[in-house]
Structure 1
Amino acid sequence: MFQHLQIAYGFICVASALIVSGVVLLLVIKWRNLRMARMKDEARKKQQDYVAYVIAHLDADEELKLPVGPLGKWDLAVLEEQLIELAERVKGKHRERLAELFERLGLPEKELARLTRSFGVNRLDAAYKLGAMGCSQAAPALLSVLKTERDEPGRFIIARAIARCARDTADLREMVAHMVALSPESPRLLAEILSESAVDPAPLMREWIEHSDWRLVLIAMAGMPSTADRELIGSLWKLIGADEKEVRINAAKLLLRTGDWVTPQQVESLIKHPDWEIRSLTAKSIGRWADASYVPLLSRSIDDENWWVRYNAARSLAKLGDDGFRALCEIASQAKQKEIADLAMQNIQDALRDESAGSGQAGAAGAKTKHAMYHSYFNTQRAGHMTG
């Protein structure tokens, strides 16, 4: 029994020592963090006049001056952080001037050394900072590091840094080739990363839109500008018949972004496409264009086998003024399928309600016209009941 008490006493002593050690360690860490935060705050205050000078002279022609006097290691680290925060908020000429300042302060060399010597979080932090600085000399090292990075979020951090540091389209092409091999499901993110590069990615987009690799095609479509020339539009039309469904749908989305890119014959072919997603997109887009000439086409699409196509066709008819409203009334009064008649009637109700809520003389006139039209088809009910 005495031996058991000794064991218990020993256990209590060890546990107490561990608890005390843990508390002391936590206090030391807290003190260290508070001390670093205080030092950081003091360094920021010391550098705030210089940072204000840099901001005020970004538009000037003369070279930005370096800080007065030697900078300690801690002061330089804090200044680097402040200038990177500024670089993330500016573009074009302002970012170029900051890149020159980073170079003269010797910061890219410091981060390049960290990039090649560090691992994990420290290496990613160095890559991020090099990207923020726009250091073109870092591109080869970043490309090399990208090939050894196993963590997917880490790869995207490095890829963004490569885009910002790229010397030419060859750097961008190499980065994207590696990324699509390991992360093929992120075309939009890769297109966004490419858009941050000082190197114009447009030649790559034109090259990839015709590529046999659907992953590159998706990146090209995600990065396509809001205005396109005939050549690009022609490439999109070819992709409507692509083997990969995601490519077909994305091509349709781009073509239907504006009614100026499609002819009535092309719209008709899209609304008859084998993919219900493309038929639904087409029906929905017509309502956004507010082109009443497509009323007959939408009226036929309301009989589509897919519910989403029918739903978007009815919604778009409701947006096409009096012609669309009249078509809905005809469908609701003549449809043989109750589901289609109910869908048309629901959109009639919504249109009457929206028109009645409209303000001004135009709203009142529109409501009166639609009420009269409704009565001509459904004279057994009052429109007021429909909108109440």
Structure 2
Amino acid sequence: MWLVWDMSILLSALSLVIMLLLIARRVLQERRGSAAADQRRSLLTALIAFTENRDREALKAVLLSVPASVAIDAGFEFISLLRGEEHDELVSAFNECGLPALVGKQLERGNGAERIHAAEMLAALRSENAVASLLSALDRDRSREVRIAAAIALCDVGALPPLVITLRKIGIAGQRSRRLIELFRRFPPRRFDELEDHAGRQDAVPFTRAAAIDALARSGGFRFADFFARAVGDPSAEVAAAALRALGLTGHADAPAILVKAMANDDWDVRAEAANAAGRLGLSELAAPLAQLMDDEAWTVRYAAANALRSFGRAGERVLQEIAASEVSRSQRTASLILAEGPAI
């Protein structure tokens, strides 16, 4: 009995100690958070003052007085808001304070999120050793997302290795990351041929090929329209669908025939993108094949076809009204739904 009593007292005392430790930890965290907030506020105030008085020494004094993590985070956010001479002078002040060296250490030793942030910061600072640090991260970092961030940063500073080498360093597993879309969209026009070559490679990952096509369509324009027209027939449905989206942006002399053929593809995503492209290009002569797609087994295809018809204006609406007035079917229900949404905006 005494043993039970002693154990109860011991457990109660232990619970009290643990509770006191948790309270002390919470108070310490709040004080640290408050101190970090004050330091961040002080630095932001100094940064704003710098844009007005250009007092570099005063800014450097504040930069050196706050922890590196505060300087890196607040500094990067502020740099992204500036352009022109103000931006260049602020970057020079950061470089003189040795901030790039601290960022470089974070790129090597931080956690995943910190290393990604460090790669972005190095691109913004454009310091002397930035390219070497980013190339090292692209080559050796254990995280594929960090390697992709390093590649994007290298692209921003004009030092990205050839695309085939970059993708090999990122690795096959990383070639399904949606951040590759961001990388490809930042490619300079002088390197668009690399994207075209990669998009046409049958042995490459379909996702990266589709991402390359998307980037070319958005930035390269009609220059690559013939390539997109050929890519519509690619064995990969993912690549073919991307090529159809691209044609919907650039157009092509043979677009009507290409789209009609694509509307009969076995893959529903390809058929849907063909319908979307027809609507985007305003090809009202494709009303008949679009009306046939209104009875497609895939809801996404039916909705895309109906949307395309609606985008043709009154001519398309008449087709939809005829279908809506017919016997109950998949096409009739889809036409009724799209008409209920009102005219295309």
TM-score (norm 1): 0.69
State whether structure 2 residue 175 is matched by structure 1 residue 184.
yes
What is the aligned partner in structure 1 of residue 102 from structure 2? 110
Partner Cα separation in structure 1 for residue 280 and residue 111 of structure 2: 51
Cα 1:76/1:174, change in 2 over 3 Å: farther
- What is the Cα deviation at residue 108 of structure 1? 0.9
State whether structure 2 residue 24 is matched by structure 1 residue 35.
no
Higher relative contact order (CA 8 A, sep 6+): 2
What is the aligned partner in structure 2 of residue 298 from structure 1? 290
State whether structure 2 residue 207 is matched by structure 1 residue 218.
no
State whether structure 2 residue 156 is matched by structure 1 residue 156.
no
Partner Cα separation in structure 2 for residue 338 and residue 68 of structure 1: 73
| 8 Å Cα contact 2:295/2:302 also seen in 1 | yes
Cα 1:178/1:318, change in 2 over 3 Å: same
- What is the Cα deviation at residue 107 of structure 1? 0.6
Partner Cα separation in structure 2 for residue 42 and residue 105 of structure 1: 20
Cα 1:325/1:37, change in 2 over 3 Å: closer
Q: Does the residue aligned with 1:83 lie in a helix, a strand or coil?
A: helix
Of the three residues 323, 334, 347, the one matched with 2:315 is 323
- What is the Cα deviation at residue 171 of structure 1? 7.2
What is the aligned partner in structure 1 of residue 240 from structure 2? 248
> How is 1:103-142 mapped onto 2 (pairs within 5 angstroms)?
103-117=95-109, 126-127=118-119, 129-135=121-127, 137-142=129-134
Of the three residues 248, 272, 275, the one matched with 1:280 is 272
Of the three residues 13, 19, 24, the one matched with 2:15 is 19
Partner Cα separation in structure 2 for residue 177 and residue 25 of structure 1: 50
| Pairwise CA RMSD | 4.1
| 8 Å Cα contact 2:287/2:316 also seen in 1 | yes
Which amino acid in structure 2 is aligned with residue 206 of structure 1? Answer: E
| 8 Å Cα contact 2:249/2:280 also seen in 1 | no
Cα 1:129/1:346, change in 2 over 3 Å: closer
- What is the Cα deviation at residue 38 of structure 1? 3.7
Cα 1:195/1:210, change in 2 over 3 Å: same
Partner Cα separation in structure 1 for residue 220 and residue 138 of structure 2: 33
> How is 1:96-107 mapped onto 2 (pairs within 5 angstroms)?
96-107=88-99
- What is the Cα deviation at residue 277 of structure 1? 2.6
| 8 Å Cα contact 1:164/1:197 also seen in 2 | no
Cα 1:193/1:53, change in 2 over 3 Å: farther
Of the three residues 219, 228, 233, the one matched with 2:225 is 233
Q: Deviations over 1:106-132 (max 9, x none)?
A: 111123234445566665665554355
Q: Deviations over 1:256-288 (max 9, x none)?
A: 235467533333333333433322322244334
- What is the Cα deviation at residue 39 of structure 1? 3.0
What is the aligned partner in structure 2 of residue 363 from structure 1? none
What is the aligned partner in structure 1 of residue 339 from structure 2? 350
Q: Deviations over 1:46-72 (max 9, x none)?
A: 444431133447xxxxx8723267458
Q: Does the residue aligned with 2:179 lie in a helix, a strand or coil?
A: helix
Q: Deviations over 1:81-140 (max 9, x none)?
A: 322111234467765554333211111112323444556666566555435534462343
Percent identity (aligned): 21
TM-score (norm 2): 0.76
What is the aligned partner in structure 2 of residue 381 from structure 1? none
Q: Does the residue aligned with 2:66 lie in a helix, a strand or coil?
A: helix
Cα 1:136/1:267, change in 2 over 3 Å: farther
Cα 1:65/1:280, change in 2 over 3 Å: same
Cα 1:160/1:239, change in 2 over 3 Å: same
What is the aligned partner in structure 2 of residue 366 from structure 1? none
Cα 1:300/1:49, change in 2 over 3 Å: closer
Partner Cα separation in structure 2 for residue 91 and residue 177 of structure 1: 34
Structure with bigger gyration radius: 1
Stretches of structure 2 that go unaligned for 5 or more consecutive residues are: none
State whether structure 2 residue 329 is matched by structure 1 residue 339.
yes
Indicate the larger mover: 238-247 or 38-47. 38-47
Count of equivalent residues: 339
